[in-house]
Amino acid sequence: MTSWIRSKVVRRPGLAALAGLFLFIPAAALSTVAIATLTATPAAASSTHTGLVGSSPANGTRLTQTPGDVRFTFDQTLQPVQGWDAVIVTGPDGMRWPAHSVRVTGNTITAKCGHLGPPGDYHVSYRVISGDGHPVAGHITVTLGQVGPGTPATSTLAMTGGGVPAWAWLVELALGIVVTCQAVVRSRAAGATKPAAVAGQRQFDSPMSG
């Protein structure tokens, strides 16, 4: 009689451990999938955004005179944009220099560049909206090697229509905040999965251990 009781007591912890194992494996698998999805999703999303593939003049070019046109070429089609803020030229003195007649053709945006002034580095910035609605901004730097006959543009520039609207940049910021919040929630949910499985295992062990 004593040996039968001992045999039965020895077998019960084995069943409890097995039940706990069946609970832990799915929970661990779900946690791994959640973490993998969280890390892979932002990379996939960012890879679809429009990027600059070339410009004329090229970044880092040393100029002997003002270029007639400035052209930026992207890897995706752009939305039609016309406005002074789509292409901006900033000189070594921090002043803005004329860039006008901005137009978009397919995946290219061009602007006519007025005469530049003092020698030095000029930043030519672009602000456009890609075909999928994402604002895209950046700049190239060119160096003017000699004094030009140009004068800076007026400090107060009025929007001439089109342009990249301010709401587009606010929407992009809001989307970034939403994605960040979702990532935090998913991370916490993944971290909470494993403790839940351990608690379930203890519930199986407790009645049988007595």
Residues 28-80 have pLDDT tens digits of 444 444 444 444 444 333 446 789 999 999 999 999 998 889 999 999 999 98
Residue 154 maps to a domain: yes
**How far is Cα 85 from Cα 22, in angstroms, rounded to an integer?**
61
In a domain, 88, yes or no: yes
Q: What is the pLDDT of residues 152-193, one digit of tens each?
A: 886 434 333 344 444 454 545 555 675 566 666 666 766 655
Residue 7 domain-assigned? no
Residues of the domain holding 145: 52-164
Distance set, CA 19 to CA 11, 14, 60, 193, 200 (Å): 13, 9, 66, 17, 9
Residue 20 within any structural domain of the chain = no
Q: Contact at 8 Å (CB) between 202 and 32? A: no
Count of structural domains within the chain: 1
Find residue 153's DSSP bridge partners. none
Bridge partners for 139 per DSSP:
125
Q: What is the pTM (predicted TM-score) of this model?
A: 0.53
DSSP strand pairing (96-97 vs 69-74): unpaired
List CB contacts of 13: < 8 A, sequence separation 6 or more: 205, 208, 209
- The three-state secondary structure class of 125 is strand
Q: Report the pLDDT value the prediction gives residue 151, as an integer from 0 to 100.
A: 83
63 domain residue, yes or no: yes
Residue 189 domain-assigned? no
Contacts of 196 (CB under 8 A, 6+ apart): 27
Is 100 contained in some domain? Answer: yes
Whose CA is closest to 81, among 106, 51, 99, 114?
106
Residue 25 lies in a domain: no
Distance CA 8, CA 13 (A): 10
Domain of 62, CATH number, reads 2.60.40.1220
Q: Side-chain half-sphere of 153: how many Cα atoms within 13 Å?
A: 17
